[in-house]
Amino acid sequence: FNAPDGQFFVGESGTELLFRMVRTAVMAAPEGGVVLGSSVEHPASRSAAKHWAKATNRPYISVLHNQETGAVEAANYAAHVTPDTRVATILHTSPVTGMGMDVA
């Protein structure tokens, strides 16, 4: 791989790798709190976040998108991000529509 230092990992598919990354983040998070996602998510990140939230007895909160724009905006997330947020998944660009989410 010609990587002189650092770390990398491989897997069978992007979906599998995404599922593993979400799992690792949720399992490593301090106990309690919530896992946060949105109504506009990649199916792999949404299903992984919901699965690992349930497996660790945490609520999964789905941030609703803006009905007029079809996007999840920073203000939509801000209303739900609290000190209890342990993991948040954010889709920056939809792989289906190509639409970008301005969450900065």
| Full-model pTM | 0.82
Domains of the chain (ranges; CATH) run: 32-104 (3.40.640.10)
Tell me 66's DSSP state.
P
Cα–Cα distance measured from residue 59 to residue 71, given in angstroms and rounded to the nearest whole number: 23
pLDDT tens digit string along 57-73?
Answer: 999 999 998 888 888 88
Chunked mean pLDDT (size 10), the chain, 104 residues = 80 85 96 94 90 98 88 88 95 76 76
SS3 35: strand
Q: Say which residue the tokens 């990140």 belong to.
A: 45
